[in-house]
Amino acid sequence: MLLQTVRPNIVQAIRAYRVEDLMQAAQAAGQHFLYANLIDAQSKQDVLEKIAESFLFPSHFGKNLDALFDCMTDLVHRAGTQPGFVVVLEQLPDNPRFDREAREQLLDVFRDAADFWAERRIPFRCFYSFSVARNSAEAGSWDRVNEVAPAPEKPVAKAVAKNGTNPNFGMNMPMMSSAFDTAMWLTAA
């Protein structure tokens, strides 16, 4: 299982994980998979609008951080028992209109959502990547590129211990998948 070594309620950089692998692992575990590609977003408002569009938030979504938290927690919780969530925020902007403070405020909302779901013993994993600007000397313009970490070496499997425990399996269980439509949940609730 892809996420067995990742804590069940965490917000972390995507690093060596591939979005497709996260999606497949989420589906295999029967959990919600939420994906937002934010490459075109330039401001906090753009980011919130793109997340709302990608996650299918209801039309009354307030496009602020409090409303984002409500949609990621209370709104979904009221819809019934949840299997868990894998959230991917790809290409978070890195520019003067969406600076480090704005990014941290956004990620804090997802950290708070992870805590909310942890209290209910529901896995909530959020992975993010940044879109950074790099100066292109040839064209004199700025190109957007991904922050990519080198792929880690694959660990060698250990033999099963005599006591029957398997050291290849972590304490954390599988991940999440399936799309979630909060508008549908509202009508169902």
pTM above the 0.75 mark? no
Angle at 18 between CA 17 and CA 20, to 5 degrees: 140
Residue 128 φ/ψ, nearest 5 degrees: -140, 155
pLDDT of residue 1: 59
Q: How crowded is residue 177: how many other Cβ atoms within 10 Å of its Cβ?
A: 23
> Sign of torsion, CA 131 177 2 162?
positive
Confidence (pLDDT) at 161: 45
Average pLDDT (47-57) is: 95
Contact 58, 96 (CB under 8 A): no
Cβ atoms within 10 Å, residue 163: 5
Type of residue numbered 1:
M
- CA pair distance 8, 84, nearest whole angstrom: 9
Phi then psi for residue 22, to 5 deg, are -65, -40
Tell whether the torsion through CA atoms of 121, 122, 123 and 128 is positive or negative: negative
Overall residue count recorded for the chain in this entry: 189
Averaged pLDDT of the chain: 77
What CA–CA distance (Å, rounded) separates 91 from 115? 24
Q: How confident is the model at residue 180 (pLDDT cuts 50, 70, 90)?
A: very low
pLDDT of residue 84: 92
Across 14-30, average pLDDT = 90
Amino acid at residue number 91: Q
